[in-house]
Chains A and B, each alone.
Chain A
Amino acid sequence: MTEHVATNETILVVGGGISGMTAALEAAETGKNVVLVEKNPALGGRTSQLYRYFPKLCHPICGLEINQRRLKNNPRVRVLTLAEVSGIEGDAGNYTVTVKVKPRYVNENCTACGDCGRAVETMVDDPFNYNLGQHKAAYLPNAMAYPQRYVLDPAIIGSADADRAKAACKYGAIDLDMQEETIQVKAGAVVWATGWQPYDAAKIQPYGYDRFKNVITSVEFERLADIHGPTGGKILRPSDGKEAKNIAFIQCAGSRDENHLRHCSRICCMASLKQTHYVREAYPEDGKSTIYYIDIRAIDRFEDFYQKVQADPSVNFIKSKVAKITEDEHGNPVCHGVNTEGYKRYTTPHDLVVLAVGMEPSVKGVNIPGHIVADSSGFIEADPANGAVFGAGCASNALDVNRAVQSATAAALRAIQVVNKVAKAEA
C-alpha cells in the first residue's frame, strides 16, 4: 500500500459551515494539521442564518459559539475565508490543491469597531439575509462573524467611498491594494463539505415565487423571525409591511418531485413545524399557521415534536400539495388545491405563504475538481473511486444540523485514517 501513500499529512476541509467546522476541529483535536477553506467572508454557513434549531428551539449562535471557541484555541486549523478551491491534482495521500483567495481589503488589524461602516454611504444587497435587506458596503458579515473582521464590497473599490472607509479606520486595517491570490495547498485527504443551497423557488412556476411578493421561502422566513434579520425579528410581509398572522406553509416545494428535486430533503417538515412556533411566539393571540403537506416526515425521534404541534389549536394541517397560488386584490396569496382527505377543493387566502424549499447540494452542476461520484440528485457518494476526497454534511446528503455534524465527524475519521497511513509510510 505504501506506494499510494505520499508525504502529505495535512487535511484540507472545503466549506466552513457547521459540517466543515466540525470536520476541521475533530481532525485538528486529534493532532492533525488542517486547512479550512470558506468562500464567504465568515464561517458558519447556513446554520448561522437560522433563527432557531429544532427540536429544542435553541439559537444556533450557541452551538456555533462553542465551535468558534474551539477554533480560536486550536493552532492546528488554518482558516482561509473568501477562498475557493479551483483545482485538485494528485491521488489519495498526495493532493495539491489550488485555492483562489479573493481580497477582503481589510487586514488583521481590524477590531470590528465599525468606523468604516459608518463612513461608507453605498448600500449593497445583504446575502446573509437572502437579499431581503441591504447593508453598507463596508460590513461585518453577521453579528457572530468568525473571523470578527469587516469586509469591503468590491463594488466600492476605486470610489470615494473606499477612501472614506480608509480614512475612517484608526488602526490602519484597510488595504485597498489587496489583490486576488492563487495559492497551492498540499493535502493528504480532502473533506468536501460545501453544503447545500435552497432550491430556486422561481422554477416552481404555479407557486409564483417570482411574481408574488408575499410568497417567500422557508430560509427567508428564518431571517424574518430573527432579531438580526431585515425586520428586526418582526414577521411582516414583504409587499406592504403588514403583520403576517395567517401563514401557510407549503411542504415539498421542489422536493420529492421528478420535475424539480427527486429526493426528500428531510429537513423541511421539521423546519415548518418549527416555524409554526415562530408564528405563535410573534402573535400569541391570533397567529395562525396552516401546513399543506403530502405526508409529514418527522424523522425518527422527532415524532413527539410533531405531535405537540398537532395538538396546537393555532396550527391547521391540510393533507394536500397545493396545486397553484394566485394573488387577490389585497395582495394576499391564495392557495388552490384539493384536500385529499375528503377530496374537496379549497381556495384559501393567507397573509403570507412560506415555501418549504428543498435542499439542493451545492456541488450539483459545479465541476468539483477531480473525479467525484455523485448520486442521481448530485450528492457525493461514499465511493472508493473518490480516493481520499470525502463528502461531509449536506454535500453528501440532505441532512439536518445534528446529522450533518455526525456525517462530518465520520468524514474526519476517514481523512485521519488516510493521513495516518501517510505518517506511517514516512516513519
Chain B
Amino acid sequence: MSANTAVAAKYRNNFLKEIEEQVEMGDWVKMCMQCGVCSGSCPTNFQGAWEHPPQELFMMIRAGKREEVLTTSSMWNCTSCYNCIVRCPRKLPITHIMHGIAEYAHRLGMAPKLQPTRFFSGLFWKNATKTGRVNELKLSMGLYFKDGFVQGIKNGMAMQAVALGLVKAKRLNVMELFGGHKCKDQKGIQAMLKKAYEIERSRKTARIAG
C-alpha cells in the first residue's frame, strides 16, 4: 500500500484532520477567517501562476477537496516573502503552511512532476548532496534540459553570451562538467544524510500509522 492510499484510507473524508496531523503547521488552517488579506498582499500574480490563492486553499481543505489541493501547483509558487504572515489578522504562518502542504504533496507523490519549483528543488538537492558542493554548471544545465533535449539546446543558445561572459570573468569553469569540485569529507556528508533520511522516514511512517 502506498503512503497515499494509506492516509486516504485513514482520513476518508476528513481532509482538514489529515492536513492538521500530517502537514507542518497544518493545525493552523482552521484558524483562517477568509478575509483575503494574504492573497491581496501576495506579490506574485496568482491569476497567472497561482491557481488558488492561500485563503482559497484553506477553504478547499475544509471542503475536503483533497485531490485538487494536493495536485495543484499553487503553493509551489510561494516566494517566501512573508508579507502574508506579517499582515494576517489571525497570525497564521501562511508561508510555512504553503511549504508544508507542498512538501506533503511531494511526499505522497501527488505534486505536479514538472512544476518548476518542485523540479528545481529536487535538482538542487541531488546536485548539492552528491559532492557536498553545488555544481552550478550542472545545475543550470539540468534546468535547461527540463523540457526535453531540443528545448535544452535552445535555452543554452539563448544564454550563450552570459555563459561566455562568466567564463571570461572566471566565474564559470567549463571543466566543472567533468566531476567538479567536492567537499573534503564526501563520505561523511553522505553518511550523515543517510541517517537523517532514516530518522525522517521512521518519524513520518509513524505519523501516518499513528
Question: Residues of A with Cβ closer than 8 Å to B?
Answer: 206, 252, 256-260, 294-295, 319-324, 336-340, 343-345
Contact = CB atoms under 8 A, between A and B. Distances in A.
25 contacts: A206-B41, A252-B89, A256-B89, A257-B89, A258-B88, A258-B89, A258-B91, A259-B87, A320-B40, A321-B37, A321-B40, A321-B89, A323-B37, A323-B40, A323-B41, A324-B41, A337-B37, A340-B36, A340-B55, A340-B56, A343-B39, A343-B53, A345-B39, A345-B45, A345-B47
B52 interface: yes
B153 interface: no
B179 to A, nearest CB: 49
For the residues of A in contact with B, the DSSP-based class is loop
Nearest to A339: B36
Interface in B178-206: none
B52 A337 contact: no
A321 B39 contact: no
A80 B55 CA distance: 53
Interface string B77-103: 000000000011111000000000000
Contacts of B90: 258
A338 B39 contact: yes
B115 interface: no
A345 to B, nearest CB: 6
Contacts of B87: 206, 259, 323
B33 interface: yes
Interface centre among B36, B47, B90 (most CB of A within 10 A): B36
A341 to B, nearest CB: 10
Given A256-B33, A323-B41, A338-B36, 7 more contacts: A206-B41, A259-B89, A294-B34, A319-B36, A337-B40, A343-B39, A345-B47
Contact of A294 (B33, B40, B41, B53): B33
Contacts of A322: 40
Interface centre among B35, B37, B87 (most CB of A within 10 A): B35
A256 B89 CA distance: 7
Given A206-B87, A258-B90, A294-B34, A343 B40 contact: no
A336 B40 contact: yes
Contacts of B47: 344-345
A246 B137 CA distance: 57
Interface centre among B37, B52, B90 (most CB of A within 10 A): B37
